[in-house]
Amino acid sequence: MLVIGAGPAGTIAASILKQQGLNLKIVEKQKFPRFVIGESLLPRCMDHLDAAGLLDAVKAQGFQEKFGALFVRGDEVCDYLFADQFTKGWNWTWQVPRAQFDKTLADEVEKKGVPIDYQTGVTDIKFHDGYSLTTVEHIDGSKKEIEAKFIVDASGYGRVIPRMFNLDEPSNFPVRKAFFAHIKDPKRPGGVNGNRITVVVHTKDVWIWIIPFSNGNTSVGFVGTPEFFEQFKGTDEKSFRAMLATDATTSDRFKDADIVFPSTVIEGYAIRTKKLYGDGFVLTGNATEFLDPVFSSGVTFAMESGHTAADLVARHLKGDGTVDWHNEYTVHMMQGINTFRSYVSRWYDGTLHDIFFARNIRQDFKNQICSVLAGYVWDLNNPFVKKHDTMLQTLAKVIGINEQQNT
């Protein structure tokens, strides 16, 4: 068994495969700790960390606990508290610098007996009947071949198998860009709101994330279409400071603050794939589809797919001929991805702004939406999961009518 990549998808998959008694290794292109974006987890992640035996190791790191998410538009504030959610599940999680988080998971998986070859990138894969031969190259230039009965591709943005076998498909979301940095945050507000992830509606098309960490630093990022960023000239740092100065939520708090991680730009990250599995391989995490950062769903999907894929691979390799990859993997994953797809679409067309900042919204609806924001997007008893797009559009219409009547 070979797992490509030691991010959350790879380490969750590896830990579950090891629990099932399989022989495996991970190859990882980079040296850990390494930076990757994706710092706000959803409570659904806790189920997977727990099942993979990784929860205690993460708890010991003292990461910033996350109990909800705050949305802000000018003076309007909407607070979603995971304790209020409809689906029975975890009501908290963490906000994590990913370098430390991913290294914690990888070290723990190694302790459980899974070897990780770092600085070793996959350069070629040949699939044969019942096995595959993967060529990997170490940073020192040495190459070797790894024979495996099955490959879990958890290579994230590297998208090893999709790129090698022409499985990439463009996303139907427009190209968006993110501009972000880690900043020292001595003026962090007191109370619970100071530590809570905040999503700020900057303009209808542009939003800002503010993700405080327990180490006193805060991750701040602007997301919008590339045109928005054209107005900011000069170095990345100069542009980023100019952006911070344009919003009331960030201007005072981060004025003159030290930038601890250089301002970074990522563009055109949304992508999808023609299929999620094939003979001898399964794609997980960002090697499958990545939608958008706005609801912090990326790591949740990485873990959900890593866990689900590992269970199916273990059954398959133990000779269970009943594994139904289409229904048990693709349909399962697409159920969650398509739910979030609706929420992302309705965020950018303003429908969710209308819902979040409505003056009156029924608490039971809010609790059901809260479960989606917590990552519980497989609970078909939740109408805001089962009929995700229809429920959002209908609710926004009703809110619009009520607000018209009250003005």
Ligand X SMILES: Cc1cc2nc3c(=O)[nH]c(=O)nc-3n(C[C@H](O)[C@H](O)[C@H](O)COP(=O)(O)OP(=O)(O)OC[C@H]3O[C@@H](n4cnc5c(N)ncnc54)[C@H](O)[C@@H]3O)c2cc1C
Helical packing angle, 98-111 and 8-19, nearest 10°: 20
Alpha-carbon span 48 to 375, nearest angstrom:
12
Chosen residue from 15, 30, 345, 382 binding ligand X by CB under 6 A: 30
Q: Contact between 392 and ligand X (CB under 6 A)?
A: no
Neighbours of 95 (CB within 10 A): 22
Burial class (CB in 10 A: 0-12, 13-18, 19+), 232: middle
Chosen residue from 2, 15, 24, 29 binding ligand X by CB under 6 A: 29
Alpha-carbon span 55 to 256, nearest angstrom:
37
Residues 6+ apart with CB under 8 A from 342: 388, 389, 392
Please list every residue from 163 through 202 that binds ligand X, using CB under 6 A.
Answer: 178
Q: Contact between 309 and ligand X (CB under 6 A)?
A: no
Chosen residue from 1, 2, 3, 5 binding ligand X by CB under 6 A: 5
Give the residue with the Cβ less far from ligand X, 221 or 351. 221
The pair phi, psi for residue 184, each rounded to 5°, is -65, 140
- Give the amino acid at 228: F
Give the residue with the Cβ less far from ligand X, 26 or 323. 26
Please list every residue from 113 through 142 that binds ligand X, using CB under 6 A.
Answer: 121-122
Cβ distance 152 to 315 under 8 Å? no
Q: Contact between 152 and ligand X (CB under 6 A)?
A: no
Stretch near ligand X under the rule CB under 6 A, chosen from 79-87, 154-162, 166-174, 249-257: 154-162
Alpha-carbon span 375 to 382, nearest angstrom:
12
Minimum CB distance to ligand X, residue 293 (Å):
3
Chosen residue from 39, 47, 247, 354 binding ligand X by CB under 6 A: 39
Q: Contact between 375 and ligand X (CB under 6 A)?
A: no
Chosen residue from 24, 81, 259, 299 binding ligand X by CB under 6 A: 299
Give the residue with the Cβ less far from ligand X, 112 or 387. 112
Residues 6+ apart with CB under 8 A from 53: 15, 19, 108, 112
Name the residues that contact ligand X, by CB under 6 A. 4-10, 27-30, 36-41, 121-122, 154-158, 160, 178, 221, 266, 269, 285-286, 290, 293, 296, 298-300, 302
